[in-house]
Structure 1
Amino acid sequence: MKVAVLDVKGKDTGRKVELSDKVFGIEPNEHAIYLDVKQYLAHQRQGTHKAKERAEIAGSTRKIKKQKGTGTARAGSIKSPVFRGGGRIFGPRPKDYGQKLNKNVKRLARKSALSLKSKDKELLIVEDFDFDTPRTKDFVQFLSSLGIQDKKSLVVLGGENNNVYLSSRNLKSSEVVRDSEISTYKIMNAKSVVLLEGAVKELEANLSK
């Protein structure tokens, strides 16, 4: 599959890059995508929620009233969950929400996500570039030249590029990641995926296994 390579101004360079059908042209496996996105979102949960139960409440343990003769229910410690300020019954405890997923399934999910973007014409290839200094204005101009300034976008770098990365940090609708940081969730969450030429080679090398 050959795709035109654009420059930083969004113009066709006249060159084309050959995209591997093993990565960008497979039959998408929606269930693999679902599993990988589910795992990603689960890992975003901190799981630090905690409520104090009866044994953890500070307070007296004396019996607050006699057992019989009051006409009301029996009552022991003031820390009982039925009283205001008492412990909580079966309250939340710290929990790890992480899920395990086979590496082959994760690889299949990412290839499926990239193939979907390629099929839907939401994948752009741009030649490698850099900014002289980090400037949000320059990055906005770059997105505007590609016609995706109003869309949620994901820009994938082929290596470390601090100027481009820092230029994008103030924008909520766009995210810049290295090829090693790409995930199925980020691909599917973006309306447009922009791959720099260097990233294409790295992705094919990592996902063609």
Structure 2
Amino acid sequence: MDLPVIQADGNPSGTVAVDDAVFGVPFKEPLVHQVVTAYLAGGRAGTSAQKNRSQVRGGGRKPFRQKGTGSARAGTIRSPLWRGGGTIFAASTRSYAQKVNRKAYRVALRSILSELVRQERLRLCDAIELEEPRTRLLIALLRQLGVVDNRRILLITAEHHESLALACRNVVGVNACEVAHIDPVSLIDHDTVILTSAALKKLELSLQ
């Protein structure tokens, strides 16, 4: 499969042959859903915690005698029925992590990338670089690439570019990352994904 490549000034630079095993596979929605769910679950803190009746301090003594008071019997002041008592089904710290096989994760990434190509949301660029971390330079670059009006843009480079990363922090909806740090949620969440030629080679090599 051949995909068009553009230069940083927006002019066409020709085409490049991409691996059909990475950019030409069917979209596997159940697998993508599983991987995305697992990825989002792994980001949950899982730190919510409450105390049940055995964890609340105090309540070792019976508050009043069993019979003769007219009140309902009680064995501890830390009963969930009492103010200051424990919680019946107390939440505890837990891990929400879900295991996803490495092979399944790679298949899901290939499926997402192929769908981006079919929806014309993936663009290839020779190189994306900024001389200095300036917002105006980034806006000018996006305007030349023809994506300045898109709501969410992801710029993927082969290596980390500090100037590009700093400039993107000041523009809402524009993010930059190196190809080694891409994830399925970021690919799906952005309207346009721009991939450099160097990042393309690394991506194909990692997903083969």
Check whether TM > 0.5.
yes
The aligned residue for residue 176 of structure 1 is 176
State the alpha-carbon separation in 2 of the partners of residues 5 and 50 from structure 1.
Answer: 52
Q: Percent identity among equivalent residues? A: 32
Contact 2:128 2:157 in 1 (8 A): no
Q: Is the 8 A contact 1:110 1:184 kept in 2?
A: yes
**Corresponding position of 1:59:** 58
Query: Match of 2:71, as an amino acid?
Result: T
SS in 1 for 2:54: helix
User: CA separation in 2, counterparts of 1:144 and 1:49?
Assistant: 45
Q: Report the AA paired with residue 161 of structure 2.
A: N
- Counterpart-to-counterpart distance in 2, 1:89 and 1:55: 10
Give the secondary-structure state (helix, strand or coil) at the position aligned to 2:44: coil
Per the TM alignment, residue 176 of structure 1 is displaced from its structure 2 partner at its CA by 1.0
Report the residue type matching 2:162 in the other structure: N
The answer (yes or no) to whether the contact 1:36–1:185 under 8 Å persists in 2 is no
Q: Out of 142-151 and 75-84, give the one that drifted further.
A: 142-151
Quote the residue 1:40 is aligned against: 39
TM-score calculated relative to the size of structure 2 = 0.93
Contact 2:49 2:91 in 1 (8 A): yes
| In structure 2, C-alpha distance between the alignment counterparts of 1:10 and 1:85, rounded to whole Å | 66
Per-residue CA shift, 1:149-170, capped at 9, x if unaligned?
Answer: 3321211111121111121123
Equivalences, count: 207
Q: 1:144 is matched with which residue? A: 143
Greater Cα offset, 163-172 or 15-24? 163-172
Q: CA deviation at 1:172?
A: 3.5
**What pairs up with 1:11-30 in 2 under 5 angstroms?**
11-13=11-13, 15-30=14-29
* Mapped partners of 1:98, 1:124: distance in 2: 33
Q: Which residue of 1 aligns with 2:207?
A: 207
- Structure 2 contact 25–114 (Cα < 8 Å) conserved: yes
Q: Which runs of 5+ in 1 are unaligned?
A: none
Corresponding position of 1:9: 9
Q: TM-score, normalised by structure 1?
A: 0.93
- Say if 1:3 and 1:17, in contact at 8 Å, map to a contact too: yes
Shift of 1:199: 0.7
Q: Equivalent residue for 2:167? A: 167
